[in-house]
Amino acid sequence: MASKLPRGSPRTWTAVAATLLATGAARADEGGVSFWLPGQLGSLIAVPGAPGFSVPGIYYHTSVDASAQRSFQVGGNLVAGIDGDADLVFLAPTYTFGKPVAGGRASVTLGWAYGEMSASVDAVITGPLGNSITRSLSDSVTGGSDLYPQFSVKWNDGAKNWMTYAMADIPVGAYDLGRLANIGINHYAVDGGGGFTYFDPMKGHEVSIVAGLTYNFENRDTDYRNGVDMHVDFAASKFLSQSTHVGLAGYIYYQLSGDSGGGAKLGDNKARVYALGPQFGHFFPFGKDKGYVNVRANWEFDAKNRPEGWNVYATLSLPVGG
């Protein structure tokens, strides 16, 4: 039964976890949409890895919409109804230290993304300069995201694995006041939390969960500050062989405190959303080590004060040096 465990791939665990934990946010900041990108963390996230460098990557697609009876604030605009799509590729170069930190394995990561985002609305009710427009409008942008520095420490005790992390948003991504589609969020943010993975190689069972809180600073261009966000990402899988596992993944996003500032025209605008979907993972030979590919999809439900839709994560992790 021990053969259920993928062999000879400790650095691959590092690559997988680093990619998942460094994707950051990918959508505009206001209207209840968070710095934290829900669902970015998945299976095996708390398992420590071996020292060395890795450059993991994720392709991310999302499609969301909301009816014309619902209002949102996007880039300083007050809009009615929204339909948005994004295709982004995240890179997360990571270095894992050889010397223990607080008895665990520490790593540092800098995440960044490049891609395209599009958005359309049924009506722009009020623009950032106070002008009123009553027609549908579409917008798109291609460019880079903010930077997402991250530090994590992980500990192992048999089948039990723990982790803690801290990350931040440095607002250098594509953003323009008044634009409906923005990749950067135009404000600083900090996020921290912890996680747990139970991985039983004898039976091939794995369960992972990570929870965290986000504190958002003000978007000075719009005089808008998102409230404090709570997020939980979770996954469970079964190894069918040494190389392949299947299971479920999902997330909970819940805004604990309301939005504020002179630009918060919709009041506290507390948001929430839930999601669940399938996942598939596979390890494959890569030189003397192993690479890893994972695909998972999430369908959202019971959204409040934010658009609702579906998304796909496709992860490729390749160790590049020890």
Q: For the chain, which residues make up each domain, given as ranges?
A: 2-321
CA 62 to chain centre: 11
- SS3 at position 19: helix
Q: State the Cα–Cα distance between residues 92 and 20, nearest whole angstrom.
A: 9
> Who contacts 265 (Cβ-Cβ below 8 Å, separation ≥6)?
73, 78, 126
**Model confidence over 212-268: pLDDT tens digits?**
999 999 999 989 999 999 999 999 999 999 889 999 999 999 999 999 998 888 888
| Residues found in the chain | 322
Q: What CATH superfamily is the domain 2-321?
A: monomeric porin ompg (2.40.160.40)
In the prediction, which pLDDT does 134 show?
61
- β-strands 272-286, 244-255 pairing: antiparallel
Residue 50 has which token pair? 């071996």
pLDDT for residue 75: 73
Half-sphere exposure of 62 (CA within 13 A, CB side): 28
Per-residue pLDDT of the chain (322 residues; tens, 9 = 90+): 333 444 444 445 544 554 455 454 433 345 546 789 999 888 899 999 778 888 889 999 999 998 877 877 777 778 877 889 999 999 988 899 999 999 999 999 999 999 999 988 888 777 665 666 667 888 899 999 999 999 999 999 999 999 999 999 999 999 998 888 899 999 999 999 999 999 988 889 999 999 999 999 999 998 999 999 999 999 999 999 988 999 999 999 999 999 999 888 888 889 999 999 999 999 999 888 888 899 999 999 999 988 899 999 999 988 776 5
Cβ-in-10-Å burial (0-12, 13-18, 19+) of 7 comes to exposed
Distance CA 179, CA 227 (A): 22
| Average pLDDT of the chain, as a whole number | 86
pLDDT of residue 20: 53
